[in-house]
Amino acid sequence: MKNYVRDKRMAFGMTQDELSEKLDVSRQTIISLEKGKYNPSINLAFKLSRLFTCTIEDLFIYEEEDKDV
Amino acid sequence: MKNYVRDKRMAFGMTQDELSEKLDVSRQTIISLEKGKYNPSINLAFKLSRLFTCTIEDLFIYEEEDKDV
DNA sequence: GCTTTACGTAAAGTTTACTTTACTTTATAC
DNA sequence: GTATAAAGTAAAGTAAACTTTACGTAAAGC
């Protein structure tokens, strides 16, 4: 899932470390998120959208998985 | 996290079993979700909002955790 | 050239979302 | 009264989100 966390963070002039503290997650979590290593939990997605004053849909781009069924 | 999955499902006249198949998750997942046993992944949240033609914010009510820090 | 700041990687460990199986309950319908 | 459909519980297992620690790199400032 694509996301705009990095863009938003930078628009807010924050470091990864600052962001991680505000969201109460580890810096690793932010790094991995921005790198697209994994998807956030819905809790983290909500926290991010609140902080950046946007919707989850604005921040994360969902594309249907190619269901191999 | 509160959610309106049950309401939406019923509004769409679906059984838990039908919903689980459409979303490609187990029936247990739907039961537990509706019962509030755990929060959905952001993927599942997106799937649900797409199916019910609403936003994630419409379907799930986020309340800041009382951070014990 | 050393220090500090910001970003990055790797890997092992914990927590939680989700699956699977198996069995229970309630209601409807023949 | 038993068969079937829909909802539920419990518990053990797997997968993925997130943490923790420790170390690497590049740029900026002195």
**Tens digit of each residue's pLDDT, chain B (69 residues):** 999 999 999 999 999 999 999 999 999 999 999 999 999 999 999 999 999 999 999 999 998 765 544
Residues A37-63 have pLDDT tens digits of 999 999 999 999 999 999 999 999 998
**Measuring from the CA of residue A35 to each C1', which nucleotide is nearest?**
C8
* Six-digit token string for A37: 């290593």
Query: What is the CATH classification number for the domain harbouring A30?
Result: 1.10.260.40
DSSP A24-46: TS-HHHHHHHHHTSSPPBHHHHH
CB of A61 nearer than 7 A to strand C:
no
pTM of the model: 0.91
- The range of the structural domain enclosing residue B38 comes to 2-61
pLDDT at A68: 45
Which one of B39, B46, B58 would you mutate to disrupt binding with A, by most A Cβ within 10 Å of its Cβ? B46
Q: Does A67 fall in a domain?
A: no
Provide the domain count of chain B: 1
A41: β partners: B41
Q: Quickly count: other Cβ atoms within 10 Å of residue A52's Cβ.
A: 19
* Six-digit token string for B62: 């986020």
For A42, the closest of B24, B60, B69 (CB atoms) is B60
B21 burial (CB, 10 Å; 0-12 / 13-18 / 19+) is middle
